[in-house]
Structure 1
Amino acid sequence: MSVSEVTPTLFLSGADAPLNQPLLCRKRITLIVNATVTHPCPAYPGVECVRVPVSDLPTARLADHFDRVAERIHGNRSGGTLVHCVAGMSRSPALVMAYLMRYRGVTLRRAHAWVRESRPYVRLNAGFWEQLLQYERRLYGRNTVKVQAPRDEGSRPPPPPSTPRLTRAQPESPLVTRRVPFLLPKPQRRTDTKKSTHGGARNPSLRF
């Protein structure tokens, strides 16, 4: 179970955290934003639940709920707010980022960094990113981030920039591919006819 603290009164999680009533009591949660279609809203005394019935699909209109959810989070003065979806990676972080832009006065770039500081594995789908870009333009008249469309919609996404390319086999350098002569040891001055005739055949596997 993972609950991430965005602010002292705002938390992100997956669908398991709202079912843990002792955890909600410790965090003083009085508002739950349930950004799922099928997961239930638990009924706890003194806890309000707001449903955002949106699927985690690029075509889903999560932006239709940005203002409503942001207003409810901002208006919750009686305790903390928990925003959750199924895994806490796409829908709920997008809703929190919209709130941060509207009521904390930050750009989309800063809102994304803020959320990732508390929950590093968030991963919004492309449709939610586009809706957040439109929301930022509406609030500030400009965009601070740019989302690059994938080259092929049917292909798997490329590895993150932090993944080094050196994990693949590299072509051999010229110093490795050129033939290097085998250097024999210097002949000894003394002549010992009893010396083994196999002395020059040491390490026969070391051939270039």
Structure 2
Amino acid sequence: MLQLCKVTNALFISNARSACSDELIQQEAVTLCINVSKQQPFPSTGVTRLQVPVYDDPNEDLHSHFDRCADAIQQEADRGGRSVVYCKNGRSRSASICVAYLMKHRDLSLTAALQKVKTSRHVIDPNPGFMSQLQRYEQDLKKRRGQTES
């Protein structure tokens, strides 16, 4: 079954097959596609594309892409657009990006952000390497917020 799972009003997560369905992209009014993979295609409709070329490997550096992706999703939402984040199976890479977005722009803790993404897409399961990068990101965000509050 093809579907885009709604995380927030402006954010969806899915696998590559669903994300590349032009019909679904149009139906959900998606304007930005974030493809978190090296091999998966983009939908053919005229959407903004952002590629994060990483494999689903615990040793891949996804951390360095968190800010860029989170900010792109937020900018799209601010413009009234909607984003879909996807990887091959919509389980690990795309979930990690969605969690990073929720932590940065919705001020959720890692646990709360994971729960929110899991509620919209039950199969999510970031690999251990990505989980530790998300934990590091949560600490980064706390430090940054601490500096802005003082």
* Fold in common (TM above 0.5): yes
User: When the two structures are aligned, how many residues end up with a matched partner?
Assistant: 140
Q: Tell me if the contact between 2:90 and 2:124 (Cα under 8 Å) persists in the aligned partners.
A: yes
Provide the identity percentage: 36
**Partner residue, 1:25:** 26
Deviations 1:143-182 (A, max 9, x none): xxxxxxxxxxxxxxxxxxxxxxxxxxxxxxxxxxxxxxxx
Pick one of 78, 81, 88 that aligns with 1:79: 81
Q: After superposition, where does 1:42-53 map in structure 2 within 5 Å? A: 42-45=43-46, 47-53=47-53
Q: 1:94, 1:26 → 2: CA distance?
A: 25
TM-score of the two chains, using structure 1 as the length reference: 0.65
**Partner residue, 1:122:** 124
Q: Runs of 5+ in structure 1 lacking a partner?
A: 142-208
Aligned amino acid, residue 42 of structure 1: P
Report the structure number with the largest CA radius of gyration.
Answer: 1
Q: Runs of 5+ in structure 2 lacking a partner?
A: 144-150
Following superposition, which runs of at least 4 residues in structure 1 exceed 4 angstroms of deviation?
none
Aligned amino acid, residue 130 of structure 2: F
**Partner residue, 1:67:** 67
Aligned amino acid, residue 3 of structure 2: S
Q: CA deviation at 1:139?
A: 1.0
Higher relative contact order (CA 8 A, sep 6+): 2
Q: CA deviation at 1:70?
A: 0.5
Where is the helix percentage greater, Structure 1 or Structure 2? Answer: 2
Q: After superposition, where does 1:1-208 map in structure 2 within 5 Å? A: 1-45=2-46, 47-76=47-76, 77-141=79-143
Q: Tell me if the contact between 2:21 and 2:43 (Cα under 8 Å) persists in the aligned partners.
A: no
Q: 2:24, 2:43 → 1: CA distance?
A: 13
TM-score of the two chains, using structure 2 as the length reference: 0.89
Q: Tell me if the contact between 1:30 and 1:78 (Cα under 8 Å) persists in the aligned partners.
A: no
